[in-house]
Amino acid sequence: MFSASALPIVFLLFLSAVCGQTLYLAGDSTMAAGGGGSSTQGWGVPLTQYLDISVVNDAVAGESARSYSEQGLFTNLVNSIKSGDYVIIEFGHNDASAGAIDNGKQDAVGDGYNITSTVTTSNGTQILIHSFAYYIENAIMAIEAKGANPIISSLTPDNIWTNGAIAAGGRFVSYAQSIGTRRNITYVDHYAYVAQAYDALGQTQTTTFYPIDHLHTNAAGANVVAQAFVRGLLCGSSTLKSRVNAAGQDVPNGCI
């Protein structure tokens, strides 16, 4: 039990810890500053205008859950975080099977932690690779060991439409959801919330967000994608939603 004289000090320490929180982002070009180049932008950049928490964007173009792990980028992130921080993890665009020769990015196919596959490298060496969940869940456990708060997010949609709506998400959407369930952490179905936003805007306007391909958005598109994440965050239970500012409270669309 704290004495009355100690309470102001305890409150100041608590306030300092809360105000000093940082949000880290781990992902690929769809999240990264500069996107995929050629005037594209990742959604992690405009996200900052909807939150009252410091944001460190550690997303790197071209990375997968596996390559981000094997190159030590998750290790670097974990070394930087402190108790009370948040980490949003979003991968999947670069994790698909590569074919006969390993590309250093593909994961073993399947929805589970203990799935492995043997692949052949460009020099003919055979190596063992692990599942999407293996790489992500190892990062989650390391983040939690530091007292920080991981959030798993499904990947963003491509600008691909079926019958007037964004096409359904693939296996990496369900993989992300399964990880959230297994690890009992916040899951944001970013794919579904972006699809909702795009469907509301329509295919013609949405296509203006994609200047070079069907994956990488321009700044305007990145803002829509960021807003969609904020909406998903507000519709969930993560304590990070308490750091959504007035602009974030006003993002369009509703809960799914």
Q: How many residues does the chain have?
A: 256
Rounded to the nearest 10 degrees, what angle do helices 73-80 and 132-145 cross at? Answer: 20
| Alpha-carbon torsion (25, 235, 30, 52), positive or negative | negative
Q: Just list the catalytic residues.
A: 29, 213, 216
Residue 57 contacts residue 44 (beta carbons within 8 Å): yes
Q: How far, in Å, CA of 26 to CA of 55, rounded?
A: 11
DSSP lists the bridge partners of residue 162 as 165
Query: Strand, coil or helix: what is 190?
Result: helix
The separation between CA 128 and the C-alpha centre of its own chain, rounded to angstroms, equals 26
Q: By C-alpha distance, which of 118, 114, 129, 177 is closest to 151?
A: 177
